[in-house]
Structure 1
Amino acid sequence: MTLATPEFVRGDFEQDTVHTYHGQTYTMSRRGDTYYVRTPGRDGKLTDYPITYTLGARQHETYLTRFPDGRVQILPVYWDLIEKRWYDAAEGTLEFGRSFTPNDYLFWANQGRTWNDQCFDCHASQMRKNYDLETNTYDTQLGDLSINCETCHGPGKDHVVFWRKALLDVELAAKGEKSLVRATSLTPAEQVEICGQCHATKTSLRTGYKPGDEFLDYYELNLIDDEESFWPDGLVKKLAYPHLQFTGSQCFQKADLTCTGCHANHGSDTPVELIADPAGGALCARCHPNVMVDIQAHTFHKPAGKGSDCKACHMPEMFLNYLTVTDHRLTVPVPEVTSRLGVPNACNSAGCHSGESAEWASEKAQAWWGDYQDERVERTQAIAWGREGDVRSLPVLSAIVQDLDEDLLLRGGAVTLIGTVGELASLPIILEALTDSSQVVRSRAAIAAGRIGHPRAIPLLKRLVTDPVYSVRVRAAFSLVKLEYAPPTEVDKEALKKALVEYEASSLGIQADSPNVHATIGQAHEALRQQEAAELAYRRALRVSSAHTLSLQRMELMDVATAKYDKLVEMVTPNLDKDIRLKVALGIAKIHRGLIPEGVGLLREVQSQKIESELVETGLGDGYRIAGDVGNAERHYSRAIEIFDKHANAYRGLALIAYSRGDVDAGDRNWRMFQEHESDDANGGNRMF
């Protein structure tokens, strides 16, 4: 990232200055040392926007302009440095098929193209977003344009202070200074995570990551369940960054190869800063000299041809979003997945055997290397089925999760997909994954447990709200809320509250400009029956993006529920003293609206008339459980069962309390009774008195 000065701008603003795509025309110009793009703004009026920054130095040069509200917006056209021509992002990197309009989220002046939000944490160092939710403005500050030393070596203040003193003190200088992180002092995984700050497909959760820190305290990774980013075999589908693909490779897992094993971290004269010329296998020969002795025996291709180029088979290049992207899985070609599922493979890629069929390539691979494709095809098919919610995926997905040697792109994604399929029979796999040694798997298992929706996961999720990893804690907390966890002690209540507050604090910090985050918080408040807090969260989401679909939908559903409740109140209130059943109905409705004191008060009035009802007792049990008074809740549920031993919801309440205490046997016993009598309740088995 650079300032848009004549020293750095490489696009043609002098001769080739007009570009038209799908009826939309852009005009580029230069006046003195300032560059402009003429384009319609949100109001539809053509305006000359001054370019503030440029992004990109290898394939594209993208241009940014600063708005008065502090937003830095990505202008709609970019310069292709290889083809030497202009592209509309809609025809190039975003491949939308038509030019964007102001109604599109990805219109250049909308939030989908706000650099402060969408490009946060990569194209500058020590960036402080400083988004103000109340005014919907940014005051973004940068430590440096582009990537500086501290990004990879940690804060440098102590280093500078020491050496300023040491310049005048020989003895001090001789002792040396060790505040900066040396990559070689870190584990291979930690070394790769340094690069993952920029080269991972992820969401930034918090700021402040330093080399060697727990990566998932700051970032959440996109995994194989992300259908937009990955083919079901893990190959990138669009411009996605290679961190997890690489860490799943055998080179990393078995030989501890890191990024700097191939790339010069301080730059080199070779393409993409490689430490050796990749042509002819010289780069790979450093680790695989035995293969290079007789390359034809390994490849079954001529030694001098592309078929014996290591990169062509194991790291094929793809042209995605008008960018050349390299597959970093360092895997083997599997043409059979193309034949069955349409997934691209190296053999039939451009420049190799593009004129032949995938079936032809698969037969060759089978003849040369045996049946190595079978397992890979089975796994890829399972991922594809899992994305569709197909139960046929579950045996293989379960095996992937349980294989501790499998890479995290697949293991974590497989856990998520099991949750998406939602079969209760898969619950044991999810429960096992909640105790996994991998933070990625634990975090995704926490999400999956919430999706499957069985409270048997509560005891394990309860432990995870104090997990040392931030992303695990908050995912566990949200699933506990969804499963109606009833914290049995003050310590448990505080642990849950702390995790939820921790996430909400993040939403008002680095993620305050993410409507999805506010919507997630809104759903949590809804589950906790905190209607006003939920509405506030949805309104915050809509302040950031007025067309945010989920928030609009939730607000509409809340409005419908409120209207129904208001109508109920209007209808029954005048007759409360005439028909005690109306008082019971209103009391229960208030409890489930989160108006606990009012609802409990009405039900207690009914009790005071010496009327025994399992509905009243269960309603009181629900009220006390939601309010956090587990002891009273348990007493009322038990009394409901004494009155009518087939009352399903009383057993449900007791099961939730038992699971929340960690008493799995009692939880299972009561849950079975709930399921046994649930149909009775649904078919009118509930009695009023």
Structure 2
Amino acid sequence: MVLALAVLCFAGPNGRFAAAQTPEGAAPGYIGSEACAACHRQETSDWSGSHHARAWQSPAPDTVLGDFSGRQVTFGGSVVRFSAQGGAYSVAITEPDGTRAVHEITDVVGIAPLQQYLVETAPGRKQALDFAWDVAGGRWYDLYPDQDDLPADGLHWSGPYKNWNARCAVCHATGYDKNYLPQSHSYQSSQAEVGVGCEACHGPGRAHAEWAGAPDRDDAAVWPGLSASGLTATFPKDDPEAQIQVCAGCHSRRSALTDESPVPGTSFHDSYELALVDADRLYHPDGAIRDEVYVYGSFLQSKMYRSGVRCSDCHNPHSARLKAEGNAVCTQCHSPAGNTRFPSLKPADYDSPDHHFHAQGSQGGQCRNCHMKAQLYMGIDERSDHAFRIPRPDLAAQTGAPLACLDCHADKDAGWADDAILARFPDADRGPHFAQVFAHGETGGDGETLDRLFDIAGDGDEAAIIRASALRLAAPHMRQADTERAASHLGAGDALIRAAAIPLQRSASASDRLRRIAPLLEDPARSVRIAAAKELLQTPDIPVPPEYQGPYRQGVREIQEWLLANADFPEGQLALAGTALALRNIPAALAAFAEAAAQDPQLVDAWVMQVRLLAAQNRILAARETLSRAMAANPGDVRLLSLDLELPAR
């Protein structure tokens, strides 16, 4: 992997590209949440003890909630003893293969509904144990009861997918710096503050503190780009997006575009690539949450988002609690009085059996149970879908999408629910829905799929994340004749749509592809610039026009930063390998595929690509040795067995 980064990231194709550079300027320093308390007493009181404040803590009697009294618990093939002695907490784990090790608990994560624990498996490398404490149930339980992984498995708690430094820490800390060192496969991570403190949302506070001490002094020249009060993030009342994007950085399923934690106030699309509603199966075809996608992706689908609702309309941002109990959160706006901020909302009595046709105060009469269908994650953590969708039993029957009605009426089916709703609301919407197209798009579709996906992408009344997802799903169906129609989305107002439209030009002629994509090298969103540069790297033989050489070089530098930021992820190594292949840099591709397989030995695709590339170079002995290691890590895998038959004898 070091070879891959050295050859690809720093030399580049034909040696033309320089290493990534640090941007000019720096944010003001961090001062810690304690420094904020003297002036912001109510906010500090709300925050203290909150899920944010206690998102990451050191182990101590007042922070550890689990039973470490020497209790021994069996989880599948593992036996774990939880102990405490002399103020230190530890776990002794006997693995399914019989190996045994004792690990000291170094960190505590969360307070409810579960608490997790970290151990250090190498200096600086922290891993999250698969055994968590059920706070309400008062028990130890297995987060992944269907898995019984050995230490050599990528999904084992000691593997890359459970690494705290890379996967979790940034959203449990303030001012976090992952600082992964690829040469030694190690971490020297640091943070300004453990836990989600004031500066995690408002930005580094030193300039603000100086302003508070002398508010009449003009320090604009000292801290350019800050607000009048010296902060990097502000939340104007007329700009809900400013607040939403600060929250979205952690409350979203996304991949990082840089190796640095973005300073609050940085655009989401300059820092992350958001996961879409596409064939990755993170969402159901109707956009309902499926895998652990958090909140932002579903909230973007909602009419509330498009009407200007912001997170703090429902949540106290400092305590992280809802602003009211039960339906009272919703009736702030959904009531006979309405809300003047949202004039399109019809005033009506929604908290009534006339609307929800269940007994008042019953589970069926709770707004969230019908409009925010919950999904269970981590065994006991129930989280609500934030698209605030209206139940559509007809869609559930057609697409397999989940249906809130059946959470309570488990003995019924979607047909029964549809009849029940139409009996009470005969004018209920039963018109076309993108889910009907997405369900087919994920499975290959038919001759009309592409046209229907383009119709969704061009629907200005549809959410941008759905329009972008339609374009993503269109990619496998594209032909050269379709690329001109797809090009209209390259100028869309939303970065999600522009970025998703770029790969659709892959079927265009070389000249058309360059002409259409090159201007996006200067897009204001980093996510779009990277997508454009990645696409142009797919055709290194086509010269970039002189007027775009500068933006192209900058785009390549940003690709380098993106690859480096994800170098400790197996999926990041696959991206690095794919980029190397596009540049026809076989040594770098081989090194990256090898690193991906080393990080996750069960990542069969990484093994297969190594074997095929080695065989293509007529390095049959090396190919067979690699295949032998792959089969040892993945015994009986059909793809590897087939590959064995394809290879020539030694």
Q: TM-score, normalised by structure 1?
A: 0.73
Partner of 1:52: 106
Cα distance, 1:312 vs. partner? 1.8
For 1:420 and 1:25, the matched residues in 2 are separated by 47
Equivalent of residue 3 in structure 1, options 52, 58, 61: 58
1:6-47 superposed Cα distances (whole Å, 9 cap, x missing partner): 1100011126x2221323221111112111111147996211
1:491-516 superposed Cα distances (whole Å, 9 cap, x missing partner): 434433331232113323x3231233
Letter in 2 for 1:489: P
Bigger CA drift: 75-84 or 184-193? 184-193
| Gap change, CA 1:488 and 1:192, over 3 Å in 2 | closer
1:339-368 superposed Cα distances (whole Å, 9 cap, x missing partner): 22322211111xx32222211111122233
Q: Does 1:195 align with 2:253?
A: no
For 1:293 and 1:447, the matched residues in 2 are separated by 44
Instruction: Please list, as runs of the form range in 1=range in 2, the aligned pairs for 1:228-243 lying within 5 A after superposition.
Output: 228-243=281-296
Q: Does the CA-based 8 Å contact 1:121-1:204 persist in structure 2?
A: no
Q: Secondary structure at the match of 1:3?
A: coil
Q: Does 1:325 align with 2:383?
A: yes
For 1:83 and 1:492, the matched residues in 2 are separated by 60
Q: Does the CA-based 8 Å contact 1:454-1:483 persist in structure 2?
A: no
Q: Does the CA-based 8 Å contact 1:248-1:329 persist in structure 2?
A: yes
Letter in 2 for 1:221: L
Partner of 2:515: 459
| Gap change, CA 1:98 and 1:43, over 3 Å in 2 | closer
Q: Secondary structure at the match of 1:183?
A: coil
Instruction: Please list, as runs of the form range in 1=range in 2, the aligned pairs for 1:18-37 lying within 5 A after superposition.
Output: 18-37=72-91
Q: Does the CA-based 8 Å contact 1:418-1:426 persist in structure 2?
A: no
* RMSD across aligned positions (CA): 2.8
Q: Does 1:339 align with 2:339?
A: no
Q: Does the CA-based 8 Å contact 1:51-1:65 persist in structure 2?
A: yes
1:28-83 superposed Cα distances (whole Å, 9 cap, x missing partner): 11112111111147996211111111112111111101123321001121111122
For 1:25 and 1:405, the matched residues in 2 are separated by 55
Partner of 1:12: 67
Partner of 2:568: 513
Partner of 2:278: 225
| Gap change, CA 1:360 and 1:184, over 3 Å in 2 | same
Q: Does the CA-based 8 Å contact 1:394-1:426 persist in structure 2?
A: no
Equivalent of residue 75 in structure 1, options 129, 135, 150: 129
| Gap change, CA 1:252 and 1:190, over 3 Å in 2 | same
Count of residues in Structure 1 that have an aligned counterpart in Structure 2: 542
| Gap change, CA 1:501 and 1:556, over 3 Å in 2 | farther
Cα distance, 1:547 vs. partner? 5.5
For 1:138 and 1:540, the matched residues in 2 are separated by 17
Bigger CA drift: 56-65 or 180-189? 180-189
Partner of 2:536: 480
Partner of 2:3: none
| Gap change, CA 1:244 and 1:153, over 3 Å in 2 | same
For 1:325 and 1:491, the matched residues in 2 are separated by 49
Partner of 1:261: 313
For 2:350 and 2:464, the matched residues in 1 are separated by 34
Instruction: Please list, as runs of the form range in 1=range in 2, the aligned pairs for 1:170-569 lying within 5 A after superposition.
Output: 178-180=229-231, 181-184=233-236, 187-206=239-258, 207-254=260-307, 256-267=308-319, 273-278=321-326, 281-290=327-336, 291-292=348-349, 295-322=352-379, 323-349=381-407, 352-370=408-426, 372-375=428-431, 378-391=433-446, 392-424=448-480, 426-450=482-506, 452=507, 455=510, 456-483=512-539, 486-508=542-564, 510-542=565-597, 544-545=599-600, 548-563=603-618
Q: Does the CA-based 8 Å contact 1:121-1:197 persist in structure 2?
A: no
| Gap change, CA 1:492 and 1:547, over 3 Å in 2 | farther
Partner of 1:591: none
| Gap change, CA 1:35 and 1:484, over 3 Å in 2 | same
Q: Secondary structure at the match of 1:87?
A: strand
For 1:441 and 1:294, the matched residues in 2 are separated by 37
For 1:236 and 1:251, the matched residues in 2 are separated by 17
1:214-243 superposed Cα distances (whole Å, 9 cap, x missing partner): 211101111100543211111111332011
Equivalent of residue 65 in structure 1, options 115, 119, 128: 119
| Gap change, CA 1:556 and 1:294, over 3 Å in 2 | closer
Cα distance, 1:554 vs. partner? 3.1
| Gap change, CA 1:106 and 1:148, over 3 Å in 2 | same
1:271-299 superposed Cα distances (whole Å, 9 cap, x missing partner): x6011112xx2221111222337723322
For 1:471 and 1:218, the matched residues in 2 are separated by 7
Partner of 1:589: none
Q: Does the CA-based 8 Å contact 2:180-2:568 persist in structure 1?
A: yes
Letter in 2 for 1:394: L
Letter in 1 for 2:609: R
| Gap change, CA 1:486 and 1:494, over 3 Å in 2 | farther
Q: Does the CA-based 8 Å contact 1:133-1:513 persist in structure 2?
A: yes
| Gap change, CA 1:505 and 1:222, over 3 Å in 2 | closer
Equivalent of residue 155 in structure 1, options 204, 229, 233: 204
For 1:426 and 1:384, the matched residues in 2 are separated by 21
Q: Does the CA-based 8 Å contact 1:504-1:521 persist in structure 2?
A: no
1:322-355 superposed Cα distances (whole Å, 9 cap, x missing partner): 2211111111111122222322211111xx3222
Which structure has more relative contact order (CA 8 Å, sep 6+)? It is: 2
Q: Does the CA-based 8 Å contact 1:204-1:219 persist in structure 2?
A: yes
Instruction: Please list, as runs of the form range in 1=range in 2, the aligned pairs for 1:66-145 lying within 5 A after superposition.
Output: 66-91=120-145, 97-145=146-194
Cα distance, 1:144 vs. partner? 1.2
Letter in 2 for 1:554: M
Q: Does the CA-based 8 Å contact 1:133-1:540 persist in structure 2?
A: no
For 1:117 and 1:192, the matched residues in 2 are separated by 24
Cα distance, 1:393 vs. partner? 2.9
Q: Does the CA-based 8 Å contact 1:60-1:78 persist in structure 2?
A: yes
1:474-530 superposed Cα distances (whole Å, 9 cap, x missing partner): 11122222245612534434433331232113323x323123333323333322333
For 2:550 and 2:164, the matched residues in 1 are separated by 37
Q: Which has the higher helix share?
A: 1
For 1:151 and 1:405, the matched residues in 2 are separated by 34
Q: Secondary structure at the match of 1:331?
A: coil
Cα distance, 1:544 vs. partner? 4.6
Letter in 1 for 2:247: C
For 1:453 and 1:22, the matched residues in 2 are separated by 53
Structure 1 residue ranges without an equivalent (≥5): 92-96, 170-175, 566-689
For 1:551 and 1:514, the matched residues in 2 are separated by 13
The share of aligned pairs that are identical, in percent, is 27
Q: Does the CA-based 8 Å contact 1:237-1:320 persist in structure 2?
A: no
For 2:228 and 2:527, the matched residues in 1 are separated by 34
Cα distance, 1:166 vs. partner? 6.3
For 2:460 and 2:332, the matched residues in 1 are separated by 29
1:385-431 superposed Cα distances (whole Å, 9 cap, x missing partner): 11112134323321111012211331111111001334555434421
Q: Does the CA-based 8 Å contact 2:160-2:570 persist in structure 1?
A: no
Structure 2 residue ranges without an equivalent (≥5): 1-55, 219-226, 337-347, 621-650
Q: Does the CA-based 8 Å contact 1:244-1:408 persist in structure 2?
A: no
Q: Secondary structure at the match of 2:405?
A: coil
Q: Does the CA-based 8 Å contact 1:262-1:274 persist in structure 2?
A: yes
Letter in 2 for 1:275: K
Letter in 2 for 1:286: Q
Letter in 2 for 1:122: C
